[in-house]
Amino acid sequence: MKNDISGEDRLDRVIESVKPPGDREYIENNLTRFLHILRHLGVRISSAEAVDAVNALAAVNMLDRRQVETAFLATLAKSPEDRVILDRAFQAYFVTPEEKAERTAKQRQKREQEAREIQAVQDELKYELEDAENGESKEVSVPLTEEEKKIYTRLPEDKKSRLRDYLKKQFQGNTVNNPEQLIASMVKSSLNYWKYYLKYHGDGPPAVDYTGDEGTDEILREVVEKLRDEEQLLYQDIQNIAEADMPTATALITKLSRKLATRISRRYHRSKKRQRLDLRRTIRYNIRYGGTMFSLRYKTKKVQKPKILLICDVSGSMAKYAGFVLQFMYGLSSVTEEIESFIFSEKVERVTAEFGKPLPFEITMTELINRSEDWGRGTDFNHALAEIASQYKGLLNKETFVIIVSDTKTINVEKASLRLQDLKKKVKDIIWLNTLPKKLWLDTTSVLVFRRYCHMFECNTLAHLDKIMRSEILK
């Protein structure tokens, strides 16, 4: 308890030193409330870290938003997740009065919309129950809590339809005198499953401890909604990302690739740690000091930057996936030895040079799609592998990762599998990013044939792509 009190006292003293006394209360209230919001969003902040944040503010221009946010990020965020939450909270909290009024109006409209949706749930889940004894019928509804109704509103439409059909069948065909509780229990169990499914598959909000204060909770709700929107894109099938969401998805994939690039770079530099004394280099280096060993030299084991050969299927069903994977991989170009890229459908094209141009990725992709004769056609994987093996054999060696992006649907499956088997012998590893949902693999002959000669992963979301690249390129 004493430590907490002294920590708060120290925080007060530091705040006093940042601005003149007239501004002290304003800064203290805003900082305290901002820290309060971060804590309710799950960011752990001690009194000592709060003091560090204030000290950092004293060293920056308080009128520069970027400098202020950087000071907070440097002192309060302890993980990538904390950085994301802090950034969204900063953008939501430090706003103009006009922006605040606009947010309040939007959230009021949203609450009214949610109330209408919840009422609609109540109406949707009403059914006629026939009395087995006297043949009369009565209207009954499934007794759900407010939280369960909210979960129902977030279900995919096909899941809602299946649940409604199930309830209709149960109420109309059930001869039990009072089946409501039995059916309600089953529905609640189903919604409980969906509650955890949505949470762990990106459609559920972060766990937030709301305060009861309307102004603070407005900010918390805005942060949660922003994070939920980003999470939905992260776990949504790339093929289903709407055109309106493409800028957000593009920014998200850029962020993911930069994060992975940073990890690869750090891993590469860490490989230069001192291991064993290199006596020969030590003697040679210290001749300048008359042989006295002032500076020691050590043997190091360098981890080679990965070489990547990317083969993307750009047939009609695969074009959108290929665009995202190409963007992700070229975000890693600064920390890989080289990235050789090929696209194929009926023919194969080497497109490495296209991405070496000093142009934004979006412009490069647009030019490539407009120029390419293969984009959006049928699929001949066998021809693509044969062309690469004969025309570009110098690219295939034991230092190269081959990454294939395809749903495996191609003509000449058996011939292509023999080509893939031969390719496996020439390279370090083959990683196949399969956009086909994994539940369909056992029923798809081409998947069963190709996966014998590669490491095949389900990859139809940005989350899949990020996870696979982390686990395979960094191992």
**Phi, psi (deg, nearest 5) at residue 244:** -65, -25
List of residues 6+ apart from 352 with CB closer than 8 A? 339, 340, 341
**Phi, psi (deg, nearest 5) at residue 362:** -60, -40
277, 299 in Cβ contact below 8 A?
yes
Tens-level pLDDT at each residue, the chain (475 residues) = 444 445 555 555 544 544 444 455 567 788 888 999 999 888 889 989 999 998 998 899 988 889 999 999 999 998 777 888 899 899 889 888 888 888 888 878 877 887 887 777 777 776 666 665 666 666 666 667 777 777 777 676 777 777 777 666 666 555 554 555 545 555 655 566 555 555 545 444 455 667 778 778 888 888 887 777 777 788 888 988 888 788 878 878 887 887 777 766 665 544 445 567 888 888 888 888 887 888 888 776 655 667 889 999 988 778 889 888 988 887 777 666 678 999 998 889 998 888 777 677 777 777 887 777 767 677 899 999 999 999 999 999 998 999 999 999 999 999 999 999 999 999 999 999 999 999 899 999 999 999 999 999 999 998 889 888 888 876 6
Q: Which pLDDT score is estimated for 203?
A: 42
DSSP-assigned beta bridge partners for residue 432: 404, 456
Q: Which pLDDT score is estimated for 210?
A: 73
Site of tokens 């766990």: 207
Q: Which pLDDT score is estimated for 374?
A: 65
Q: Cα separation of 384 and 410, whole Å? A: 11
Q: Which pLDDT score is estimated for 104?
A: 81
Which amino acid, 254? T
Q: Which pLDDT score is estimated for 415?
A: 95
pTM for this prediction:
0.58
297 exposed, middle or buried (CB, 10 Å; 0-12, 13-18, 19+)?
Answer: middle
Q: So where are the chain's domains?
A: 2-94, 99-200, 304-473
Bridge pairing between strands 137-141 and 126-130:
antiparallel
Q: Cα separation of 207 and 40, whole Å? A: 9
> For the domain with range 304-473, which CATH number is right: 3.40.50.300, 3.40.50.1370, 3.40.50.720, 3.40.50.410?
3.40.50.410
Q: Cα separation of 399 and 307, whole Å? A: 6
Question: Is the Cα torsion angle 140, 142, 147, 149 positive or negative in sign?
Answer: negative
Q: Residue by residue, what is the 3-state secondary structure of 3-38? A: HHHHHHHHHHHHHHHHCCHHHHHHHHHHHHHHHHHH
Q: How many CB atoms lie within 10 A of CB 108?
A: 11
Q: Which pLDDT score is estimated for 459?
A: 94
DSSP-assigned beta bridge partners for residue 431: 403, 455
